[in-house]
């Protein structure tokens, strides 16, 4: 090992040694969600070179785990599955189906906040029918979500969330995927 890298590695190891691990805090959640998908060729009656959009309603289901405490904030991971399917003026309806996984930063330990705010960034795959066909086209997707959990009862929170991101490589263009969600989180006892 080169000695020029040794101070850098020692600094990283020292930083990680002072971090305080959190006992695993697993929390499954279920939310009603509305997904708005927009871009070229999206939506019934929209030409391939015109911008349009569709909105689909359904659910988002997932699990998060806060595994590292960094002062008043926690670092964790989140995995989610979304399924949204709404009828519209065509026989195909509006369909969005996908799965995302990523990292989460939770500021729930900051005193005097009425909610436990969080932000997370996720990647995965999402398929949609663009509102114009019976089958779905799959695509790589990424999204950033921001939200807040409000304690209702011990181990039960109400959640509101907004997310925005992109689906890539559908018809060689990027498309925007936004989500608006509200639901419940069950914080399981710490392991």
| Cα–Cα distances in angstroms (integers) from residue 113 to residues 66, 89, 151, 167, in the given order | 18, 44, 12, 34
Residue 9 has pLDDT above 70, yes or no: no
| pLDDT tens for each residue of 43-70 | 666 666 666 667 788 999 999 998 888 8
Tokens standing for residue 65: 């785990």
Q: Mean per-residue pLDDT for 109-126?
A: 86
**Which one is predicted more confidently, 34 or 109?**
34
Query: Which of 22-26, 60-64, 115-119 shows the lowest mean pLDDT across its residues?
Result: 22-26
Characterize 36-57 residue by residue with b for buried, 16 or more Cβ atoms within 10 angstroms of its Cβ, and e for exposed.
bbbbbbbbbebeeeeebbbbbe
pLDDT of residue 2: 47
Structural domains of the chain, with CATH: 18-186 (2.40.160.20)
Beta carbons of 156 and 184 less than 8 angstroms apart: yes
């Amino acid at each position: 090992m080169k000695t020029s890298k040794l101070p850098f590695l020692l600094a990283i190891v020292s930083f990680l040694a002072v971090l305080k691990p959190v006992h695993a805090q697993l929390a499954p959640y279920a939310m009603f969600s509305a997904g708005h998908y927009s871009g070229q060729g999206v939506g019934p009656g929209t030409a391939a070179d015109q911008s349009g959009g569709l909105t689909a309603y359904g659910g988002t289901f997932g699990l998060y785990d806060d595994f590292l405490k960094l002062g008043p904030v926690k670092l964790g991971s989140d995995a989610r599955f979304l399924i949204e399917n709404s009828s519209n003026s065509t026989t195909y309806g509006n369909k969005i189906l996908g799965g995302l996984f990523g990292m989460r930063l939770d500021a729930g330990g900051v005193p005097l906040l009425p909610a436990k705010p969080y932000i997370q960034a996720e990647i995965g795959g999402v398929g949609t029918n663009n509102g114009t066909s019976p089958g779905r086209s799959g695509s790589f997707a990424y999204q950033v979500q921001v939200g807040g959990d409000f304690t209702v009862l011990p181990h039960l929170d109400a959640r509101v969330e907004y997310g925005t991101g992109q689906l890539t490589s559908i018809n060689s263009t990027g498309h925007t995927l936004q989500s608006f969600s509200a639901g419940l989180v069950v914080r399981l006892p710490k392991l």
